[in-house]
Structure 1
């Protein structure tokens, strides 16, 4: 049901009213212009007659002029035209007008003030008069207003009928458009009410072929709801992961503290282990806090043009001794030209370090780990690849989840947040982080957008 208080309907009717007023102004203008043009045409016709009669007088004299005026007065239909030729002394020489009430030389005169030969036509209520001199003689001629009246009557009927149709069509179109708009706004409002009630999966119905403002707003809202749903699911997953993964270290810490509380003399070794467990828990929370800060975009003000080659070189120099001690080989492959990205150098260093450390920690002896950077399709790319055992394809996207640890990595150190931090840093820099098969081993690649020139 339509309600006048609805903004969509009210605006539609307002535009329909505005269009109707505009049409009325145009119609009034057309009516006035037509009236002016018809009167001008009648005046031109009388001026043309004057020119013809003046030529007759110049060529043939007054007698022919008198005959011509009488002929013109006799042949006009139902006295629609009137003529009166006056001599220099005011004597009527020719025409069908006996007398006029009042002195009229130009303009309009009612028919009842004109005494003519015969009867006035029922359609003529007055005459448009024009007076001209032909030599010493004066010619007064007039044209009945029935021509103008008939034209204006037909035009007026047409314009009024057109205006009524426009008003009706405009009102109908306004109500129809208002109803369509109202339905779409109700769909948006209904979806938002569902979301407010906790149904984050609710979406606004959209038409792929529609490109109007409401469609763009609906698509934007749906995109926002999609992100909100993903964020909430992520938060739920994070909360669950935190509760699950911190439960074990907290239980161990509690057991250690309970053991210490029952000792008369605290064993220093127990205190050291308890402190290490506490440090591990604090380190986990610090990593989570760092990820949250990065995801909030708090570090974008530190962005600058950074050459990835220097960062990879620093990481290579820092980790190469550790690789050698672990029986692994660390290689460095960098481009001859600068590989520049717009980003935070410290976070990018953290990204590369985490990837390198992850590869060193989860690959066996004899593995070759390669740090590389170059351009690919004009995009800066850095990669860390190894020749280890790799991971199953179905687990590749899971490695970026918080606290995720594969079966092969459960016996190694770490809190399962290193690659999550890498993912957050990559997204902050609008980089795409991908895991692929290195045949053999694993390859993790970060592709950055081209830096602005």
Structure 2
């Protein structure tokens, strides 16, 4: 503002100089008298001095002699003016118009008025922001309280046994409480799946263990009644006991894998190397069963992060399962392929295959398809494969190989 006022005074001086040069002294004095007269409450000061220091025109009565300061207090006695109350300082400027000295002054009342307006605007804005903030704060607080109450109610329902209760969410919401609600719902979904799986496991154990335990009890009861122990009965009891122990060991192994620290023994593992070793180990058993076992061609390694021993066991279970259920004259193929963000391993056979209705059930504990009920096994091999794949963050799926079955394990990189 001060620079703008000084520019205005400089422009006025140039205009008055042009008036003097074109119209002479009389016109100059007349214009300065007019400017002094229209200056409201002397917010603008003018003084025209001749070469001898005499005042020729203006509203400053006493001549200002000597160097003129850039600013002067409004109550300075040399000005001898009565400015309005808003003016406490005059900004001064001196110019030469031919033989005359022109002194101009401008009060700082505009700055005072602007500051007053700014203060009023800031006060009004502050009050408005406070009021708006209170309104928004109360509204947001109520909404937050309602949502927290909803979450608390769901947690109370779950604690009371209503596991189907879920926190209401909106897919488009991205705020913190929405993320917390989604996390709680995900946790409840996982708890529900685990409880369902636990119940299923309990039912499967009760169903599958009942028959061998009844047979064992019948043999022991018969031996107790007869008072004699036949060698074949004793061997049968031992086999049934070993079979039961093997089943529970497999269940314990699956539980240990599911509870293991995911990264405790992880390292870089070459999938090609794993498949090659598994093929070499099971090649004699495949030849004995009349099955062709095709191993991957050695080449550039496909590296994933995982537990070498568990990955070896996973592919061994798949190959052993294929050898057990494929007839003579069929083939088993091991392969792997790399994509942009994943590595996929395949175990495919040309055997009888798996019915599509069983594709989602074969990984359940103790589940056995109709064609395999007359063969040895406990229905836990593929459950162990699924547990190992889940531990490594891999997805496993079974597809039709036309003929046969194809197991696909995809590792995300």
TM over 0.5: yes
Q: Which residue of 1 aligns with 2:204?
A: 241
Select between 246-255 and 331-340 the one with higher mean Cα deviation. 331-340
Q: Determine the structure 2 residue equivalent to 1:108.
A: 73
Instruction: Note if 1:320 corresponds to 2:282.
Output: no
2:273 counterpart of 1:305: no
Residues 286 and 323 in structure 2, CA contact (< 8 A), matched pair in contact too: no
Distance 1:127 1:357 in 2: 101
Tell me by how many angstroms 1:287 deviates.
0.4
> 2: distance between equivalents of 1:436 and 1:59?
105
How many angstroms does 1:47 deviate by? 4.2
1:449 and 2:411 are equivalent in the alignment = yes
CA contact (8 A) 2:279 2:293 kept: no
Q: In the alignment, which residue of structure 2 is the partner of 1:383?
A: 347
Deviation at 1:320, TM superposition (A): 2.1
Alignment of 1:48-59 (within 5 A): 48-50=11-13
2-side partners of 1:226 and 1:308: how far apart? 35
Residue number in structure 2 paired with 1:17: none
Report the Cα offset of residue 231 of structure 1. 1.6
1:281 to 2:247 alignment = no
Query: How does 1:430-441 map onto structure 2 within 5 Å?
Result: 430-440=393-403
2:333 is aligned, of 361, 366, 371, to 371
Distance in 2 (alpha carbons) for counterparts of 1:72 and 1:151: 24
State the alpha-carbon separation in 1 of the partners of residues 241 and 280 from structure 2: 31
Q: 1:341 to 1:44 in 2, by over 3 A?
A: closer
Worse-matched range after superposition: 151-160 or 419-428: 151-160
Partner of 2:345, secondary structure, is strand
Moved more, 225-234 or 205-214: 205-214
Other-structure match for 1:25? none
Kindly tell me: are residues 193 and 314 of structure 1, through their superposed partners in 2, closer, same or farther at Cα, counting changes over 3 Å? farther
Deviation at 1:187, TM superposition (A): 3.8
The CA deviation at 1:443 is 0.3
Quick check: 1:254 aligned with 2:220? no
* CA deviation after TM superposition for structure 1 residue 340, in Å: 3.2
Deviation at 1:283, TM superposition (A): 0.8
State the TM-score, normalized to the length of structure 2: 0.78
Which secondary structure does the structure 1 equivalent of 2:368 belong to?
coil
Structure 1: distance between partners of 2:87 and 2:351: 109
Deviations 1:85-126 (A, max 9, x none): 5678875443233469xxx9633315999756xxx7878665
Per-residue Cα deviation, 1:14-44 (whole angstroms, up to 9, x for no partner): xxxxxxxxxxxxxxxxxxxxxxx2x333333
SS in 2 for 1:387: coil
Aligned-residue Cα RMSD (Å) equals 4.0
Counterpart secondary structure, 2:362:
helix
Aligned residue number for residue 19 of structure 1 = none
CA distance in 2, matches of 1:168, 1:338: 69
Q: Which residue of 2 aligns with 1:28?
A: none
Answer whether contact 2:333 2:348 (CA < 8 A) is retained.
Answer: yes
Q: 1: distance between equivalents of 2:78 and 2:166?
A: 80
Distance 1:160 1:286 in 2: 78
1:291 aligned onto 2:281: no
